[in-house]
Amino acid sequence: MAELPDRPPGKKVGYWNRRQLLQLGIAGLGVAGGTIALQNLIQKRPTVARIPPIPADAPSISNINPLQIARDFDYGKVTRENGRTVREFRLEASNSIVQLNSAVTFNTWNVNNRVPGPTLRATEGDRIRVLFSNKGGHSHSLHFHGLHPTEMDGIKPIRNGTAFIYEFDAIPYGLHLYHCHVAPVTRHIGKGLYGMFIIDPPKSRPPADEILLIMAGYDVNDDEKNELYAFNGMPNYYMNNPIPIYKNQLVRLYVLNMIEYESAVTFHLHANFFDVYRTGMTLTPSERTDVITMGVAERHILEFSYGYGGKYMFHPHQDAIAEAGCMGLFQVIA
Ligand SMILES: [Cu+2]
């Protein structure tokens, strides 16, 4: 077993950091006063997140339901081996035709018959075992971001009709991803062979309404440019079917940029600011902003809550990309 890496420098923190205390106006209190105030705060701290149900009329389109995908985390089949947790995932490369809008259908290459593939989730130090079977009609592979030996790096093509077992330790904690690494990788990712891979820190993050958003593009006419874009697989879905969240509820967004053919895009949230946990590899935020730039495969955890009800947009601030399908709404329930 590989040894767990050291934590990022300077990130050994308790639940409240100095900045949060300053915001709460208690950092300057005497030790006794500060302790009492902290105890009061800790007692009032919510222990569970309030998460609205998925609207009953949220449609699935070509087997893709982005409202379901947004909060769907696959923890695998859990067993114990030699005193440690093993999480086994069954992933299958396949093809499916997806109706991207009323005029455009697209032949996706995907994992488990959905785009994006399942969001795999583990805790730091678990053993990950991925039973990968390729029924996609082409050679594919699964390349995981994280720490692992070379033979588990997923750059070797797995031929159609064959299988491979990827096995490695879930290290380090953070917001990671997996994708096919067969050349041309841009095409294999652009066709839909990617997903999120979340490794939680050993001591879990505070309760929050956790939502994942993967930005991606579709090159529908093979000109090596994207004509359509989407959050979680389906262009414009969240404009017609906003993601419900509750007012004053901490939301933890897991955001990944998988848009090929563009060097970078931004992610922008309306009428709010979010705390940024870069690559999900810290327990305290590094900045607070309302727009963040992300290169291909870059991903961050963003946290916020809304103080007012209503509908609020999120989208890349490359507005042509937003207007070609990568745009959505949160419905804040007062
Ligand atoms: Cu592939």
Tell me, in angstroms, the distance from the centre of ligand 1 to residue 193's CA: 6
Tell me, in angstroms, the distance from the centre of ligand 1 to residue 48's CA: 39
Residue with the bigger pLDDT between 29 and 94: it is: 94
Tell me, in angstroms, the distance from the centre of ligand 1 to residue 257's CA: 18
**DSSP three-state, residue 35:** helix
Q: What is the pLDDT of residue 41?
A: 46
Q: Please, which residues bridge with residue 311 across strands? A: 331
Tell me, in angstroms, the distance from the centre of ligand 1 to residue 141's CA: 6
Q: What CATH number does residue 283 fall under? A: 2.60.40.420
Tell me, in angstroms, the distance from the centre of ligand 1 to residue 127's CA: 24
Within a domain: 209: yes
Show the tokens assigned to 180. Answer: 């096919």
DSSP state of 127: E
Within a domain: 45: no
Instruction: Give the H or E element holding residue 85.
Output: strand 84-99
Tell me, in angstroms, the distance from the centre of ligand 1 to residue 184's CA: 8
Within a domain: 176: yes
Over the stretch 158-188, which tens digit does the pLDDT of each residue have? Answer: 999 999 999 999 999 999 999 999 999 999 9
Tell me, in angstroms, the distance from the centre of ligand 1 to residue 94's CA: 10
Tell me, in angstroms, the distance from the centre of ligand 1 to residue 320's CA: 28
**What's the number of domains the chain is made of?**
1
Expressed as residue numbers, the domain containing 198 is: 66-333
Within a domain: 36: no
Amino acid identity for residue 238 in this structure? Y
Within a domain: 285: yes
Within a domain: 29: no
Within a domain: 51: no
Report the percent of the chain where pLDDT is more than 70.
86
Averaged over 215-223, what is the pLDDT?
97
Give the list of residues 6+ apart from residue 282 with CB closer than 8 angstroms, or none: 8, 11
pTM: 0.86
Alpha-helical regions (H) of the chain: 18-24, 31-44, 66-69, 185-190, 237-240, 319-323
Tell me, in angstroms, the distance from the centre of ligand 1 to residue 187's CA: 8
Does 29 have pLDDT greater than 50? Answer: no
Show the tokens assigned to 290. Answer: 């309302």
Within a domain: 239: yes
Tell me, in angstroms, the distance from the centre of ligand 1 to residue 17's CA: 43
Averaged over 319-334, what is the pLDDT?
97
Tell me, in angstroms, the distance from the centre of ligand 1 to residue 153's CA: 14
